[in-house]
Amino acid sequence: MNATANDQDSATAKVLGVNGNIVRIEVSGGRIMKNEVAYVCVGDERLKAEVLRVNGDQAELQVFEETDGVRFGDKVELSGEMLSVSLGPGLLGTIYDGLQNPLSDLAELDGFFLKRGRDVAALDPGRRWDFTPVCQVGDQVVAGQVLGTIPEKNIVHKVMVPFDASGTMTVQAIAEGRWRTDATVATLTDSKGRPMRIPLVQTWPVRRPISALMQQQRLIEREFPSQPLITTTRIIDTFFPIARGGTACIPGPFGAGKTVMQGLIARYSTVDVVIVVACGERAGEVVETIHDFAQMPDPRTGGKLMDRTIIICNTSSMPVAAREASIYTGITLGEYYRQMGLDVLLLADSTSRWAQAMRETSGRLEEIPGEEAFPAYLDSAIKELYERAGVLRMADGQTGSLTLIGSVSPAGGNFEEPVTQSTLGTVKCFLGLSYDRAYKRFYPAIDPLISWSRYRDQLESFFKSEVDPHWTAGVSAMHQLLRDGESIDQMMQVTGEEGISIEDYVTHQKAMFLDMVYLQQDAFDPVDVSVPLERQKETFLLCQKLINDEYAFEDKEQARVFFTELTGLFKNLNTAKTDSDDFKRFRKRISELQATALVVDAS
């Protein structure tokens, strides 16, 4: 039930002290619970807050707004409800703040500068939706089971039994037709005959995984990720694959291309819904993301990318506490769409800012600090967040996935700092961006020598059956070539080209060739920006053949000229449409060039 604490226990509270966004209150005549929503009243303004710590009849709140003007004795309203989000039709294509207030509605109310104390409905209560039931009166249903469907943009939105419903319930009534968002579309009864009304929109606490209670009731089953998330970025899909329903992190220094890469992953990945959480990034970057997503054509649906995207926008200029909450808002929305049997991608940019918000709040609570003043529970908080990703099989046999990719912004590109290290201990794919590669205008600037993916072995059966039987062995061999090339390059820094053999020099040239034509892509070229898995296979096998063949070079200069020309031809091949005249022409010229230096087998 949604009765407030005031209704239940006649609880009242008042402000005792203020420290930044932390407000200490005293409660009398009732109860208060952790993570409960409270409202600090300042004149006509009601500042939304969340209970962080309870100590007897006193509690400490984190206020999601600026606390200017809050004074001793000010009234505090207790809601009796946990910090929650609204789940229902109308989420797609919307831009929210960290507390799920639609920013477009706030802008209409307040103009350019948003006023504090605003609390706007996340979903328009007056909007109407076409509801089609999929069950009948008398049917037995359980938590998470589908009651009806609503067409929403490019997906079928499923209206489900509330996720916290207990036991088997009976459908007493169910409606059909066009209904408002705030309408009740079904009535269920439990084993004792108590009714439960089912609206189109349900709420869920953001800090509680949707799957947790349902797993306890054995209504869903967590599965081992067995399919790759195809991003159409060669270096990721081939060398460092991410499983669909898996976890990955993209750490890198400022200017290394995290935002650009995340945008392309969002656009071209094999997912149904994209959720972008901008928690603490600069406002300019977020505005650019919003503008690009609204204009970008969606290659999967033919519409706009924003039609299957939700943006949670909490920039660095917004309150710190709301920045911390934005991650949980985003992942709860992702879990909701996963429960429908959809594949969801959550991009968090960046978890460093989220951790910094926790550090600031922890300091004001005077908690014992951990390394670099981050809270001692930083590691467990990061693990709890990433563990909410995964693949789930529902009671009806459908599967849904939630893939979580978080970018990390370590100061100075230092991967040894606590947030990066805690993240590395949690995720199964690490795509480390290098400042040196970004400075050389390499894109993506993923360093193949420090990056890794534990999914490569996990997805081996998929690549062997769907791509090539020798795919894994070939990738491992090419990865070793990159390491050998780097070792030779370091030797050349000391001795120069004269200090190495021609065999080592050719190995170095082959490694450079692989790096330039396969690990790099042109983000501005309409063909090379997105490479389907089938073309990745053709390109990789051709690279592998060119590298594994033996060549007869008279000297290092001849080897350099050969590989320089080969690299240029291959880059042109990458930008030519498959099976076009240009593609065939460049393929032929590569074969002709290869024949000029190839060692002829006398046998």
* Percent of the chain residues past pLDDT 70, beyond the cut: 96
Task: Give the pLDDT confidence of 255-274 residue by residue, as tens digits.
Answer: 788 888 888 999 999 999 99
Establish whether 259 is an annotated binding residue: yes
DSSP bridge pairs for 140: 170
Establish whether 583 is an annotated binding residue: no
578 sits in which H/E element: none
In this prediction, residues 469-479 reach a mean pLDDT of 95
pTM of the model: 0.93
In this prediction, residues 554-583 reach a mean pLDDT of 96
Establish whether 258 is an annotated binding residue: yes
Q: What does the domain layout of the chain look like in residue ranges?
A: 5-82, 128-200, 234-466, 471-597
Question: Is 188's pLDDT higher than 90?
Answer: yes
Establish whether 397 is an annotated binding residue: no
Q: Quickly tell me which residue has 């969340």 as its tokens.
A: 50
Nearest to 186 by CA among 176, 200, 198: 198
Task: Give the pLDDT confidence of 22-51 residue by residue, as tens digits.
Answer: 999 999 888 889 999 999 999 989 999 999
d(CA 560, CA 567): 10
Distant-in-sequence, close-in-space partners of 233: CB < 8 Å, separation ≥ 6: 261, 264, 265, 268, 444, 521, 531
In this prediction, residues 125-132 reach a mean pLDDT of 96
| pLDDT reported for residue 10 | 57
| pLDDT reported for residue 449 | 96
Question: Is 399's pLDDT higher than 80?
Answer: yes
313 vs 573, higher pLDDT? 573
At the topology level, CATH places domain 128-200 in: OB fold (Dihydrolipoamide Acetyltransferase, E2P) (2.40.50)
Nearest to 361 by CA among 411, 418, 315, 323: 323
At the topology level, CATH places domain 5-82 in: Thrombin, subunit H (2.40.10)
Establish whether 126 is an annotated binding residue: no
Distant-in-sequence, close-in-space partners of 19: CB < 8 Å, separation ≥ 6: 364
Question: Is 602's pLDDT higher than 90?
Answer: no
SS3 of residue 518 by DSSP: helix
Task: Quickly count: other Cβ atoms within 10 Å of residue 268's Cβ.
Answer: 20
DSSP string of 475-488, one letter each residue: HHHHHHHHHHHHHH
What's the farthest any 2 CA atoms get from each other in the chain?
96
DSSP string of 48-96, one letter each residue: EEEEEEEETTEEEEEESS--TT--TT-EEEEEEEESEEEESTT-TT-EE
Burial class (CB in 10 A: 0-12, 13-18, 19+), 588: exposed
In this prediction, residues 301-307 reach a mean pLDDT of 89
At the topology level, CATH places domain 234-466 in: Rossmann fold (3.40.50)
Establish whether 144 is an annotated binding residue: no
Task: Give the pLDDT confidence of 195-221 residue by residue, as tens digits.
Answer: 999 999 999 999 999 998 888 888 899
In this prediction, residues 415-434 reach a mean pLDDT of 94
Question: Is 508's pLDDT higher than 50?
Answer: yes
SS3 of residue 8 by DSSP: helix
Residue 316's pLDDT band (cuts 50, 70, 90): low
Task: Quickly count: other Cβ atoms within 10 Å of residue 152's Cβ.
Answer: 19
DSSP bridge pairs for 197: 187
Establish whether 117 is an annotated binding residue: no
Q: What is the DSSP letter of 274?
A: E
Establish whether 148 is an annotated binding residue: no
Question: What letter represents residue 234's amino acid?
Answer: R
Burial class (CB in 10 A: 0-12, 13-18, 19+), 317: exposed
Task: Give the pLDDT confidence of 74-116 residue by residue, as tens digits.
Answer: 999 999 999 999 999 999 999 998 899 998 888 888 877 778 8
| pLDDT reported for residue 262 | 87
d(CA 323, CA 330): 11
Nearest to 131 by CA among 203, 188, 199: 199
* Percent of the chain residues past pLDDT 90, beyond the cut: 75
Q: What is the CATH code for 471-597?
A: 1.10.1140.10
| pLDDT reported for residue 8 | 43
d(CA 351, CA 19): 25
